[in-house]
Amino acid sequence: MPTARESTVEREASLTGTSLHSGAKVRLTVKPTGAGFGYQFRRMDLADQPTIPAFLEKVKQVERATTLAEGSVKVSTVEHLLSALRGLEIDNVLIELDANEPPIGDGSAAPFLELLAKAGRKELEAPRSVFQIKEPVWVTAPDGGYMAALPHEGFKVSCTNSNHTAHHTQFLSIEVGADNYAKEIGRARTFVFYEEVEPLLAKGLIKGGSLENAIVIRGESVMSKEPMRYSDEFVRHKILDIIGDLALFPLPIRGHILAAKPSHGLNLQFAKALLKAYRAYQSSLMPVENVPVGERALDINDVMKILPHRYPFLMVDRVLRFEGDVKAVGLKTVTINEPFFQGHFPGHPIMPGVLQIEAMAQVASILLLRNTENAGKLGYFMSVDKAKFRKPVMPGDALIIQVELTKSRGKIGKASGQCLVNGEVVSEAELMFAIMDR
């Protein structure tokens, strides 16, 4: 079976419309990118045209929609577009828009499916990694809702949608892929309860809402400008939202998702539980020979092409993955043969904390030096702040090194870093370094 590869859109394409909550007119454009870029939103209407990556860590609000924020810059109601992208297995796209929300269209993902059909799909050279569920992961909600993931070879969702009216309870179990997403899920419209409309308007929400872009439920009755598209349209839209919110997880998921009474809040709580399970799995990887080199990864030879460090001072065995241009996850397999164990508590060997900080600095340098404009330069470590050492690192540990660039301007870069063993933070620090010519 051929290896699946990452993808992007083939060409630039745009659509215009009205946003749901702000009621503003908006133009949205999707543009091709390279592998490892992921989904990133660019606010063209603001000074400096700031970009917000679609990461779980950027979620700031989940009332009636999923909102991403970077400082004071926000992009709201991203779930329908992200659902269409993930549903069609398009992995990397730059999304430009001139307001704080994508257009709502008819309340489904259909407008974005049409947009992506115009843009086309282009495969890239990098192999496509997925997170294969190996052990059950679950979360629960106070109202009786729950979400769980079970091992499964494909991507399957079994969802029960119920509500306070005791009417319109629906269930659907479906295998979802690029071949059936548009037909079975993408056209399902959002819905709202009649008694919620006035409170939502009072909160400044759904200003662009109408029967053209939402179904209104009033008791047993349903108000819609057109006939129901599916007999179980409500649960299909819940699955659409689940797919969109899980697109904020760094990898496509392979597993069976079970959900009852899902919401954006529960979806994101579940995505965070999946991320914790994923990081614990990465931390459990032992000998470097057994760690898969997937797309977005760098093996030891690639690392040495970027960094000038060599044994015994090279503290990165490989980079497991990148998340856009601002995050990287590296691996250092700690063995008893490390030269520092000869003098650092020989009877009770512990990896020096300063070398863990050096490992963070090296992964941060890789993030900057892999950019074309910095190729062939050096990363000079300048300062460290807020360093904390929480647990000892012993021989045999697989040290996972997570770094996020917090500032990169000119020749100066700042980053926050963590080292983890078995999913637990063992050290952390804030770093500053300079990019210099050799």
Which of the following is catalytic: 80, 237, 256, 264?
Answer: 264
164 part of the active site: no
Contacts of 337 (CB under 8 A, 6+ apart): none
Indicate if the alpha-carbon torsion angle 249, 251, 252, 256 is positive or negative: negative
Contacts of 294 (CB under 8 A, 6+ apart): 127, 129, 320, 321
* C-alpha to C-alpha distances, 297 to 121, 123, 284, 353, 378, nearest whole angstrom: 23, 18, 18, 26, 21
CA dist., res. 281 & res. 354, Å (int): 26
Which amino acid is it at 302? D
Task: Tell me the two tokens of residue 192.
Answer: 């709202």
264 part of the active site: yes
Active site residues: 264, 344
